[in-house]
Amino acid sequence: MSKTVKAMVIAGNGTNCEREVAFACRQAGAEISEIVHIAELLAGRVNLEDYHLLNLAGGFLDGDDLGSAKAGANRLLHARVAGSEQTIADQLKQFVADGKLVMGVCNGFQLMVKMGLLPALAGKQQQSCSLTINDGGRFEDRWTWLKVNPESACVFTRGLEKLYLPVRHGEGKFVTDSRETLQRLEEQHLSVVKYADNDLQPTMVYPDNPNGSQAAIAGVCDPTGRLFGLMPHPEAYLHRTHHPRWTREDLPEEGMGLWLYRNAVNFIREELL
Amino acid sequence: MAWRIVVGLKDGVKDARGERVRREISEHLGYRLEKVQTLDVYTVAADLSDAEVEQAARGPFSDPVIQDVAINRPLASGFDILIEVGFRPGVTDNTGRTAKEAIQYITGRPFKIDEGVYTSTQYLLTGLTDKAVAERIAKDFLANGLIQHWTILAADELDSQTGVPVTVPRVVSDSSPTVRGINLQISDRELLDLSRVGMLALNLEEMQKIQRHIADPQVVVEREKVGLGAELTDVELEALAQTWSEHCKHKIFSAKIEYEDENGNKETIDSLFKTYIVGATRDIREKMGDKDFCLSVFKDNAGVIEFTDDWSLVFKVETHNSPSALDPYGGALTGIVGVNRDGVGTGMGARLIFNTDVFCFASPFLEKELPPRLLHPRRIFEGVVEGVEHGGNKSGIPTVNGSLVFDERFAGKPLVYCGTAAIMPRLLHGKPCHEKKVLVGDHIVMTGGRIGKDGIHGATFSSEELHEGSPVTAVQIGDPITQRKMFDFLTIARDRGLYNSFTDNGAGGLSSSVGEMAEDTGGCELHLDRAPLKYSGLHPWEILISEAQERMTLAVPAENLTEFISLAGEMDVVATDLGQFTDSGYFHCLFEGKTVSYLSMKFLHEGVPQMVLPAKWQPQARVEPTFSQPQDLTAELRKLLGRLNICSKESVVRRYDHEVQAGTVIKPLVGVANDGPSDAAVFRPILDSFVGVVVSHGICPSYSDIDTYHMMACAIDEGLRNFVAVGGNIDHVAGLDNFCWCDPVKSDKTPDGEYKAAQLVRANKALYDYCVAFGVPLISGKDSMKNDYQIGDTKISIPPTVLFSVIGKIEDARKAVSMDVKRPGDLVYLLGDTYDELGGSEYYAEQGELGSKVPQVDAETALLRYRTLHQAQQQGVIASCHDLSDGGLGVALAEKAFAGGYGMRVALADVAADAEMRDDKILFSESQSRLLVTVKPVDQTGFESLFRGQSCRLLGKVVAEPLLSITGQAGDSVINAPIDQLKEAWQAPLREM
C-alpha cells in the first residue's frame, strides 16, 4: 500500500465541487480519492494524516455570509475534534509540516488565504492577502486565460505555460495588505497564475481580468510550492466537452485542468511515497 | 446586553458593493450621488463577555487585510446622509444565523432560544442632503418595507460616541399558545367574512361543507371522545384551508367545466387535469408499450423517467409568482430552494443536477406610473435574478437553461418559474428508488430548519389575487446552506436505509406534508408542541401551517429512530420526533397532550366539493395589419434583435454558475466568443459516462391574445424544437406543463371568466392533442391560477401563459450540436415551410400590431423532421443547428452568423414559403417546426439524402467576410449588414442589467 497516492476532498457546510475534484484526482492517477464530510473529521473517525493531497473545493462555506470563507475558517480554527483538544487547523498544520500537498480552488483558495496558509510569506501562517468583491460588484461565470509563472516553485503547475479555465465567483479580487507583500509575492514567484489576454500577457482589463485582481493575480503558492490556491476552476476542465468551444475547435481529449492534478499525483509518487 | 459591531473597508480599498449601489440608484431612481460607502453591522444580543465579542469582531466578522471594525461606536465618516437597513423581527436573517454559529464555535456555548445576532447594512451617501430623497432611496431601492426597516440620519445627527442607537429586532410575544374554538353555525355572510378575514381563501360552498360536517351528530360523538366538541378548532380550520386551497388541491383543474365552443356545441369536462393531462400520458404510455420509459408520473413531488440501466431522471418545475411580487429576492430564492426540495424529496431521494429558470416581467425600462403595491419591474428583475443566483449558486447546482419573457401585463404579477432536475439510482436496497411508502407506527420526524411565523398563509395567499390585505407573513426567505446541510445528511440516511418515506414541507407546512404522508397509513398523531421553534410564542395552528423553509418530513421506523437522530446531530442538522403515523383514520394533532385537531382523513382529503365552471369560447375579432413593406429591412432586423424578447440575456446568464458539477456540455452561451444563444442545454450527470440529459422549454404568451390553442401547440413545438436542435432523441423525451393563468372563475371581480375559462380549456385540448401526436408523455406539472392584480378599479391580468419544459436524453453527449456557424464554405439549409403566420409575432409587435394569423403546428411533419435530424446528428453531418422562433428566419440567421463569427450569404427565393409572401414576412414569420442547419460541403449528399422528400432547402452558404447578406425574392439585396453591427444591436439592451 506504500505506493498508493491518497487524495481527500473535504465536503460539507456549503462546499459544492467535491465530486468533480475527487474525480479529477482519480483521473490524474490517485489510487484513493475520497470525499470526506467534515463531520467525519470532527467526529475523529477520519484524520488528515492518512492522506497526501488535501483538496479544499469550491462552494460557499456557510453561504459566505460573513465574507467569503470567513465562517468556514472560523470553524476549522475553533471546532474541536471529538474526544481531543485538537482542531482541524491543528491537523492541517501538521499536514503542511509533513510536506504534503494542499490545493484550494475558489472558495477553498479563499479559505487558505483567510487562514493565512497562503501565501505564508517566510513560512508564517498569518493572513497577508485577501479575496474581496469583484470590481464589477457581481458574481460572474466566464472562461479566462491564465499565464503560468515558469519560475514559480509551485508543484502543481510544473512544466505548464498557460491554462484556460472558468472563474465562477463574486469575491475573487486578489488584494495584498501592502505594496511590500505584493513585491515579495512577485520576487519570490509565489504569484503562480495571472489573468491574461489573448496574447498571454497579464492584464488588468475587464473581462480578461474578471475581477480587478492586483497584478492580475489569479492564484498563489507558498514558498515551498506545495500549497497552492487559485480562483479559476481546474476541475471544470477535465475533458474536451467541458471547453465552451469544443463543438468548433480541435481539442485534445484531456482538459488543461487535469494537468494540475496530474502534477500533484506525480510529485507525491516521486517525493512522498 | 447587546453590542453593535460595525465593519467597514479600510481607506483606499475599493467599495465595489457601494459603487454598484451608487450606479443602480442612478439607473433605478435617477439620483446621481457622488459616492456610496457600505458598512456591515452585527447586533449581538446574547450572554457574552466583552472579550468574546471582541474576539468575534476581529475574527470571523472582519478581514484584517481590508476591513476596520468598531464595537459600540460609529465607523461612518465623510458622508452626508446615513441609511441603515435591517430586517424586521422574525424575518429570516441568514447572515445573522451564520454569525451566531461562528460565536458558538468560539465560545463553545450554545445560544439560548431568544438570543441572537441580527445584521443590518449602513449606506453612507455623499452628494445628497435632502432627507426626503433619502427616504425615497430607502423605500424604493435599498429596502423592502415588508421585510425591512430603516433609519435615516444626517451626518450631524449621528452620535460620534455611540453611533446609531442599538435596536434588537427580536420577536417578542407575550401571548401564550392558545387554541380557539370556532362556532360555524353562523350565517352565510358571516361564513364568508370568516374566510376573508382569516385569509382562508375558502368559498361559501366550501365553508358550508365544513359547517355541515362539524354539525353532523356522528362526528360530534367521535370528537367528544377526544375532548373536543361541536366547535371546530382554529387548528382544524387552518388545516382544512391549507389542504383545500387552490394551491394544494388545484380546484380549477379538477373542476367540472361546462364548455361551449363558438358554434354552440356543448360538452362537460370532468377535470381538465384527468381528461387532458393524465389522459394524454395514459394514452401515450399505452402506445409506447414496452418502450414506455415513464417510472413515476403525477403522484410524487416530481416526475421520474428512465435514464440509463442504473439511473433514473427526476424533473420538476414550480412557480413562485405571488411571493416574488411582494419580495422579489426572497420570493425567487425561496422558489428555487423550494423546488430543489421537490427534486430531492422524490421517491426515496435524488441528487440534484441542474436548475432551470424562466421569468416573465414587464420591461425594466417601463416609464409608466404604477398602481399601489406594485414594485417597479426593474426592481423585480434585479431582485428575482439575484434570488435565483443565490439559490442556485450557493446550493452548488448549475443553472443551465432559461428565458426572460417580456409583456407589460406582467407588471401586475411577475411569473417566476423555477425548475430542477435530479438523478437517483434505479434500485435502492433492491427496491425501485422512485417508490416509497409510510408504514403504520413509523415516527414523524421533521428535519432542517426551525419553525417561525414565516410563510403563514402562503398557500392560501397564492390562491388569491394580489390585493390590499395580502399578508406580509406570506413572504419567506430561503437559506441554501441550511438546506444543503440537510440534503448531505439525508443522502447518507437514505443510503443507510434509515427511513421509509419522506416529503418536503412547502405550501401548507406540516399540515400538508404530514397530511399527505398519512394517507399511506390512514392517520397520524402529531405533537405540535415538540416542534423546534425559532422563537417562543407560536400558537399551535401557526406551528402546523408555517411555511418556514428548509424542512422535510420523514417516516422513520422505530428501530432506526436513535441512529437517525444521532446522525443528524453529528451533521449539525436539526431532527425532531413529532409523533407517529397511525391507521386511526384521523388527522390527529395534540398540543401538550391535549387534542387540538381531530379531522377524519377522508374529509380532509376528499371533502372539498368539486367546483363547477362555465366556459364559453368566442374567438376575438382580430385582423391582419395593412402596413406596407418597410424600405430598409436591415433596420427592421436590427430593431428586432434589440427587442427585449429577442436580445441577449448574457448579463443574467453570467450571474448564474452554469458549470458547477462539471457536467455542462452545451452551455447557455456558445460560439467563437462564448456569447451566442444556445437553444437548449446538454448535461452529463455521471462524470465517467458520456450519456447526457437534454433540457429545453417553450413559452409563447403573445399568441394567447389570438388563440390559446395555438399558443399551447407552439409552446410544445418550441420546447421540442430546441430539444432536437442540440441533439436530443425525440423518442426519449418527456414534457412538463406549468400553467399560469389569470382568474378564470366568473364573478363580479372577473366578469369575463367564461372566456378565460374557455381559453384554459382550449390550451388543455392542444396539450392533449400535441403531446399525443408527438408521443411525448407529461410527467409532472403545476398550475398557478390567480395571476391578477386588483386594487380599487385597477385590474391587471397576465396573458395566459404556459411554460412547456422538456427533458430527455442524448445517448452520447459528444454528438451534441451547437447553434453557431462553424466555418466558411458550409452550406446553409432551412428545414420546414414558411407560412404567412405573423399573428402575435415580434415583428408585428414592433409595428404596434397583433394580427390574426397565429402560427399553427403540423405535428406529423414536424415529428418526421425531428427524427431525421437526430439521425443526421448521430451520423455527424450537422455542423450547427439553430431553431427559428421569435423574429423568425432573419433573427436566426443573424444569431447563427455572429455567434460563429462568420458571414452568410442566403437567398429568400430559395425559402419554401407561401406564394406571394412579401420578403419582410418571409424573414420574420414565426412559422413553427423550422430549423436552420449548416452542413460541410463534403456531407452534402449524405445530408440531402436523409431529408429526401421533406421540406429542406439550400439557402446559401457561410462566408469568411463578416457580413450577413440576404437577397430578396426579386434578387435584390434586402439585408446587408456587418455581423458586429447586428451583434451590437442584440447585445446592447440588457448589457448593463
As a three-state string, the secondary structure of B868-923 is: HHHHHHHCCCCCEEEECCCCHHHHHHHHHHHHHCCEEEEEHHHCCECCCCCHHHHH
Q: Specify whether the CB–CB gap between B83 and B105 falls below 8 A.
A: no
Taking the CB of residue A234, how many other CB atoms lie within 10 A of it?
26
What pLDDT does B473 receive? 63
Number of A–B residue contacts, CB under 8 Å: 188
Given a cut of 50, whether residue A1 has pLDDT beyond it is no
Q: What is the CATH superfamily name and number for domain B234-252+437-608? A: PurM-like C-terminal domain (3.90.650.10)
* C-beta separation of A246 from A80 below 8 A: no
CA B902 to each of CA B962, B973, B974: distance values in angstroms, whole numbers, following the listed order: 5, 19, 19
- Cβ separation B657–A141 shorter than 8 A: yes
**B112 at the A interface (CB within 8 A)?**
no
pLDDT tens, B670-679?
999 999 999 9
Mean pLDDT of B934-955: 98
Of A58, A234, A243, A55, the residue nearest A157 (C-alpha): A234
Query: Residue B867 — pLDDT band, cuts 50, 70, 90?
Result: very high
Q: Beta-carbon neighbour count of residue A222 at 10 Å?
A: 23
Q: Identify the closest residue of chain B to A233 by CA–CA distance.
A: B660
User: B845 pLDDT exceeds 70?
Assistant: yes
Q: Which three cell numbers stand for residue B821?
A: 456557424
B365-397 per-position pLDDT tens digit: 999 888 888 899 999 999 999 998 899 999 999
* Mean pLDDT across B779-805: 92
Distances, alpha carbon B886 to alpha carbons B373, B711, B883, B890, B990, in Å: 32, 13, 10, 10, 17
pLDDT surpassing 70 at residue B460? no
Give domain limits for chain B: 2-157, 181-233, 234-252+437-608, 610-647+817-993
State mean pLDDT over B243-256: 89
CA nearest to B389 within chain A = A139
Cross-chain residue pair B98–A63, CB shorter than 8 Å: yes
Q: Are A255 and A239 in contact (CB under 8 A)?
A: yes
A-chain residues near B65 (CB < 8 A)? 127-130, 175-177
CA distance B26 to B8: 23
Q: Which of B667, B826, B898, B933 to mutate to test the interface with A (most CBs of A within 10 A)?
A: B667
Q: What is the rounded average pLDDT of the residues B128-135?
A: 95
Residues B365/B513, Cβ–Cβ less than 8 Å: no
Taking each helix axis from N to C end, the angle separating B480-495 and B94-107, rounded to the nearest 10 degrees, works out to: 70
Q: How far is CA B100 from the centre of its chain?
A: 31
**Residue contact A74–B485, C-beta within 8 A:** no
pLDDT band at B508 (very low <50, low <70, confident <90, very high): confident
Q: What is the mean pLDDT of residues B183-200?
A: 91
Give which of B25, B477, B571, B820 to mutate to test A binding, by max A Cβ within 10 Å.
Answer: B571
Banded model confidence at residue B470, pLDDT cuts 50, 70, 90:
low
Helix extents (H) in B438-595: 458-461, 480-495, 509-517, 540-545, 561-570
The nearest CA of chain B is from the CA of A221 a distance in Å of 18
**CB-nearest partner of B102 from A15, A74, A247:** A74
Q: Does A60 touch chain B (CB under 8 A)?
A: yes
Homologous superfamily of the B2-157 domain (CATH): Phosphoribosylformylglycinamidine synthase subunit PurS (3.30.1280.10)
Query: Cβ separation of B674 and A143 shorter than 8 Å?
Result: yes
For B285-310, what is the mean pLDDT? 96
B673 interfacial to chain A (CB closer than 8 Å)? no
Domains of chain A plus CATH, in order, are 6-272 (3.40.50.880)
Average pLDDT, integer, range A167-171? 97
Instruction: Please report the ipTM that was assigned to this predicted complex.
Output: 0.97
**Portion of chain B with pLDDT greater than 70, in percent:** 98
Report how far residue A159's alpha carbon sits from residue A148's, in angstroms, rounded to the nearest whole number.
9
Name the minimum distance, in Å, from the CA of A242 to any CA of chain B: 6
**For A255-265, how does the pLDDT look when each residue is reduced to its tens digit (9 = 90+)?**
999 999 999 99
Q: Is residue A180 less than 8 Å (CB to CB) from chain B?
A: no
Distance CA B649, CA B915 (A): 36
Model confidence band, residue A32 (pLDDT cutoffs 50, 70, 90): very high
Please indicate whether the domains covering B2-157 and B234-252+437-608 agree at the CATH topology level: no
Option in B20, B396, B690 nearest A16 (CB): B396
Of A59, A142, A173, the CB nearest to B654: A142
Which residues, numbered 218 to 257 in chain B, qualify as contacts with chain A under a Cβ-Cβ cut-off of 8 Å?
Answer: none
State mean pLDDT over A134-155: 97
Kindly list the residues from chain B whose CB atom is less than 8 angstroms away from the CB atom of residue A20.
Answer: 661-662, 687
B882 within 8 A of B819, measured Cβ to Cβ: yes
On whether any CB of chain A is under 8 Å from the CB of B389, the answer is yes
Q: Using CA coordinates, name the residue in chain B closest to A16.
A: B396
Residue type present at position B561: L
Cβ of B654 and A130 within 8 Å?
no
Interatomic CA distance for residues B358 and B338, integer angstroms: 15
Kindly tell me the sign of the dihedral angle through the C-alpha atoms of A120, A122, A125, A131: negative
Say if A140 is an interface residue toward chain B (CB within 8 Å): yes
Q: Which residues of A touch B103 (CB under 8 A)?
A: none
CB-CB neighbors (< 8 A) of A233 in chain B: 659
Give pLDDT, residue B469. Answer: 56
Question: Where do the H-state alpha helices sit in B496-582?
Answer: 509-517, 540-545, 561-570
CB atoms under 10 Å from CB of B230, counted, come to 16
Q: What are phi and psi of B576, to 5 degrees?
A: -135, 135
Cβ contact B742:B787 at 8 Å: yes
Residue A266 pLDDT more than 50? Answer: yes
What is the DSSP secondary structure assignment for residue A67, as one 8-state letter?
A: B
At B678-734, the pLDDT tens digits run 999 999 999 999 999 999 999 999 999 999 999 999 999 999 999 999 999 999 999
Inform me whether the pLDDT recorded for A180 exceeds 80. Answer: yes
Q: Of A77, A130, A247, which has the smallest distance from its Cβ to B818's Cβ?
A: A247
CATH topology of domain B610-647+817-993: Phosphoribosyl-aminoimidazole Synthetase; Chain A, domain 2 (3.90.650)
pLDDT at B459 exceeding the cut of 80: no
> With an 8 Å Cβ cutoff, is A214 touching chain B?
no
- B64 vs A contacts (CB less than 8 Å): 127, 177
Best residue in A10, A66, A208 to probe B by mutation, most B CBs within 10 Å? A66
Distance from the Cα of residue B580 to its chain's centroid: 33
A168 touches chain B (CB under 8 A): yes
Whole-number Å distance between alpha carbons of B672 and B670: 7
Catalytic machinery residues of A: 106, 233, 235
Residues of A in contact with B102 (CB under 8 A): 62, 66, 70-71, 74-75
